[in-house]
Amino acid sequence: MTNTLNTLDLLSIDDVCELLCIGRNAVYTLLHAQAIKAFRIGRVWKIPAASVYLYICENANLPKTAG
């Protein structure tokens, strides 16, 4: 994973774990609850960086503007 995120970047489960400092089970829980929007290609989850950004903004009561 790079140090800077573009909103078009697709993240893996491990990338989200690292960004949010949570475990894999917690990420899967967020995905299955659709708290973080994502999709699967076969068995592999693809998580848009923008979805993680929105999740952080919503849960930290931050404005949803980039910057």
Residue 51 to residue 37: CA distance in whole angstroms: 6
Dmax over Cα atoms in the chain, in whole Å?
34
Tokens 């140090």 sit on residue: 3
Q: How many distinct structural domains can be found in the chain? A: 1
Query: Residue 32 domain-assigned?
Result: yes
Q: Which structural domain range is residue 43 located in?
A: 10-59
Residue 27 to residue 16: CA distance in whole angstroms: 7
Query: Residue 64 domain-assigned?
Result: no
Query: Residue 42 domain-assigned?
Result: yes
Task: Count the neighbouring beta carbons within 10 Å of the beta carbon of residue 19.
Answer: 17
pLDDT tens, the chain, 67 aa long: 556 667 679 999 999 999 999 999 999 999 999 999 999 999 999 999 999 999 999 999 877 765 5
Length in residues, the chain = 67
Query: Residue 66 domain-assigned?
Result: no
- pTM for the model stands at 0.80
